[in-house]
Amino acid sequence: MSFSSECKNELCLIKPEKSCCLISELCALYMTMGSLSLLGRGKVNVQFSGENITVCRRIYTLLTQALHLAPQIHYVSNARFGGTRKCVLTLGPLQSPSFLIALRMMTDEKDGAVMLRSTTPKVSLTRSCCMRAFLRGAMLGGGSITKPEQGYHLEISCRDDSIREDLAKCLQKFDLPIKQSARKGHGYLYLKQIDHIVTFLKVVGANQTVMEIENLRVQRQVLGSVHRMINCDNANLRKQMNASDEQLRMIAELAENDGLKGLPKSLQEMAAARLNAPDASLAQLGEAMNPPIGKSGVNHRMRRLLEYAENKKKETL
């Protein structure tokens, strides 16, 4: 199952309670999956269609719960698209007006007739509960989210300006950026930053999905710091090796010029210790001395050795 489907399945488990939120979510689902057809003589037909069966079941539940409407369900297979099966929910001419009145697309006239006033919903999104529900509906109907292992990207497709404006309003309410782009002529709003995606998912109630993303983020951070530590260790090791090479070269030069014999005993010991252990760190060299000395002691003796070697070199020139 894709990450998007997992996220949508989670959203479909949320139980909307307030009737205002039921309508807001239905509104976004209609704006992303719904269509309206005019049958003549003022009769209309409302349909929802989508490939995600769980989302379609959600629409059915919301319609029943909010408006006591029971749409007809049928499936269509499209051979052209590799046999993908679509679920279609239909509200016939008798049920559609109630739905369209709830979305303020139709009005109830005094004489009992209904009148189509708008082809897009006019639901007022002022309460924060309804804005959350609207965003959830839009995510269910037109949203997709990339698997976090493959990068951070969440988008909601916008079929027209009206849903784009409503989405922008809701995103703004939760301090989320409004970024839009288009692909093959279809516009969409998207979020790219992990913090924004997490905020959005929390707003719509996908807490399980948030946890999955957060866990992966922690794993990545730990891995990152381990890599940094390894790189740092490597750099220190390289530095240590370079210093050791330099010391070995100097000691070899001294030995060539018979200079080792003239050294004080402590420096002779130091030179011998380095020759015996070319890879040892200064601290390890110090431990090998008798009696053992600290790192700074070793450093001091190495410096004296170097000075001595340089003086000796000048003498021989």
Task: Give 131 or 298: the residue with its C-beta nearer to Zn ion.
Answer: 131
**Interface with Zn ion includes 21 (CB under 5 A)?**
yes
Question: What is the size of the binding site for Zn ion (CB under 5 A)?
Answer: 6
Q: Which is nearer to Zn ion, 19 or 296 (CB)?
A: 19
Scanning 19-81, the segments in alpha helix (DSSP H) are 19-33, 53-67
184: phi > 0 → left, psi -120 to 50 → alpha, else beta; which?
left
How many angstroms separate the CA atoms of 101 and 116, rounded? Answer: 9
Shortest distance in whole angstroms from residue 66 CB to Zn ion: 11
Span from 16-24, 98-106, 171-179, 234-242 in contact with Zn ion (CB under 5 A): 16-24
- Look at residues 161, 169, 207 and name the one whose alpha carbon lies nearest to residue 24: 169
Rounded to a whole number of angstroms, the minimum distance from the CB of residue 113 to Zn ion is: 30
- Scanning 38-174, the segments in alpha helix (DSSP H) are 53-67, 96-102, 128-142, 161-173
If one asks whether residue 19 binds Zn ion (CB under 5 A), the answer comes out as no
Verify binding: residue 163, Zn ion, rule CB under 5 A: no
Stretch that binds Zn ion, among 81-89, 120-128, 213-221, 299-307 (CB under 5 A): 120-128
Cβ-proximal residues to 134 (8 Å cutoff; 6+ apart), any chain: 24, 25, 27, 28, 123, 125, 166, 167, 170
Smaller CB distance to Zn ion: residue 62 or 260?
62
Rule CB under 5 A: is residue 129 a binding residue for Zn ion?
A: yes
For Zn ion, which stretch binds (CB under 5 A), given 90-98, 121-129, 287-295, 301-309?
A: 121-129
Q: Looking at 17, 18, 257, 294, which residue binds Zn ion (CB under 5 A)? A: 18
Q: Which secondary structure element, helix H or strand E, spans residue 177, and what is its range?
A: none
Rounded to whole angstroms, the Cα distance separating 64 from 72 reads: 12
* 20 near Zn ion (CB under 5 A): yes
